[in-house]
Structure 1
Amino acid sequence: MPSGFSTDAIHAGYEPDSLYGPINTPIYASTTFAQDDLAVTRNGYEYTRVGNPTITALEKTVASLEGAEYAVAFSSGMAAVDAALRVLLKPGDHIVIGNDAYGGTYRLIQQVFTHWGVSNTVVDMTDVDAVAAAIGDNTKVIWVETPTNPLLAIADIQAIARIKGEATLVVDNTFASPYLQKPLGLGADVVVHSTTKYIGGHSDVVGGVVCARGAELEEELRFFFGWVGAIPSPFDTYLTARGLKTLAVRLERHCDNAEAVARFLEGKDHVARVYYPGLSTHPGHEVAKAQMRRFGAMVSVAFDTEDQAKTFCRSTKLFCLAESLGGVESLIEHPATMTHLAVEGSALAVPRELVRISVGIEDEADLLADLAQALEKL
């Protein structure tokens, strides 16, 4: 029978077994599994590097939430990105990537895949004509983030899907999560997540996942999963699955708070611009409204000067100065000197007066009071 998002987040991918009936997925902390005969596995498991019941349960849940045929879990978001790129690209191929993509993804493409013979073109993904112009005969992948990190630009997934030709459209859905956005239903071919962020949701476990349709791609990803061994541990996947159960309720509170933070910062002294898709002034507002359930929990703000941006980051008390995002606690950072330092001087360099805020689920009044006192220090 049909079920809703929160029901699937809790129940899809796992049913209590008939032996003891554990409500939660057991942590199968075993490197190897007994076989019923020579090369005859019991329920398909032989060695954790190529498969483990705890990992499988998480994969099935994420696949259900994304509307995918399957998901393959990896040890980190970057391991998932690398696996997706390795199975989709070969020497001589070309990839189109956004000019506001995650710095770690661009660094991997530029510093590893370029030496492997893969060329890339950086474009503004909000400009569909520019994306179309960048696609050549050897373009095999179009890599999209929406919302982007850290400028929160919005790419029209459906529009890009219509012009992608034979290229594979990959969407990094980390900032939105499957609760807020379902790229496969909008025409994407592959979805990638850093499950470290909203899916895990508690800043206590690192992981990644690739979701898609099509048996051939799944087989290649599974081979990569086992051959290279960038697998998550059963403990990590258990923690991720535990966090995933509350994704919907967490995101609702995250989004409520982010909207309040964006409205609060807009128009304040020394604030040059607030980047948040939920604001009607955001150039991607209408596209985001059409393809997202809500507008997310990330807010970026540009100050008049770099010094003001740095002072603001140093002055918050409840917003912790730290990298990463998507946890229940609010974080703040200066991308140019922290998460995006690696792309300094490149086409993906970020404004030095920019601050990125991951809005948590604390009480709204406390968050706004902290931002107010930090603004007073400027």
Structure 2
Amino acid sequence: MGAVLGGGLIFLLRAVRPEALIQTNFADPDALDRFLQSFRNPTAPFLPSSLASDALDGLMKGRFTLEFFGLVGLSLLLLALAGLVAGYAYQIGWVRALEGTVQERGLRGPGFWDRFGASGRARALWVRDLRLFFRDANQAAQLVLVGVLVLLYTTSLQFIPLEGERFRVVVGFLHLAFQGFVIAGVGVRLAYPLYSLEGPGFWLIQTAPVSRLTLLLTRFGLALAFLLPLALLLGLLSPQVIGLGANLTQISVAIAVASAIASAGLGVGLGSAFPRFDASNPAEVPLGLGGLLYMGLSLLHSAFLVVLAARPVYLSFGSRGSYLAGPEGPLWLLLLAVVTLLPALVALAFGYRRMGNPA
């Protein structure tokens, strides 16, 4: 809840557009009115914001309105509900904290994840890793911060004053670079620490009938499950916010997916080559040579993808057709696949070799 509220506060501060305070001439009545209109409360009569607006309007005129008493009653009701929930949570937590206290849950049949994990070793590892990931408050909070990061990025793009088709395409080209940097930054917190999260209990995995290759590939699949949705969201949503055409949207999605695959491969491979099982917090795992190599190689890969996208973006100035459907499209996709899979496979191979004898 702390991460959700903190992320919501950060997004709210960005959504109110603080730069408008500098750009607005408050001496101009029309500019002031436009500024206030952009922060109008919702007009639904039962929302607390509307009740507060009507109550303040009545108080300014020297009278108590029905909305004022409704707002006071709603505040008291919410305060009473918060007290009941807090008292119940404190009582349950205090009882569970007593030594030897056991809560009887009864017999329950296997759920979906239990049946999914029982069908193979790889799926069992995925289910175990997902459960461990979401049970860790630090890791679960990372997903909230990732969502806030995407919202901040897309919101900032929405408020850029774009005048003219050429300037919009230039901003779209810069977006191709920034989305790779965003994915690389998220990967260092989600993909790189996956192998080190085993912690001191890593010996349990070593005694289990699981090969190093299976362990490595399941980590890679889990990293893709985290990074691919983010890449698709950035690749599809950001061009729509900027107002790019279908041609650049396709290029953006291809570049985003390539960045996600490369970041997942580099993160899992280098994270397996330079593990830190003694880290008390997942944020401490990338602090070392492996994390530095990951960030350097990821940013270098993102920069190379931008160079690779220069020609499709340049050709989009005078063409409305799809670049990927043209004669150069398949060759460009093949080159994109090579420069994406090559560093990912090399990093995974390097991590596989070091997993047996980490230094």
**Which TM-score tier does this pair reach, normalised by the shorter chain?**
under 0.3
Give the greater-gyration-radius structure (CA): 2
Q: Give the structure with the higher percent helix.
A: 2
- TM-score with structure 2 setting the length: 0.23
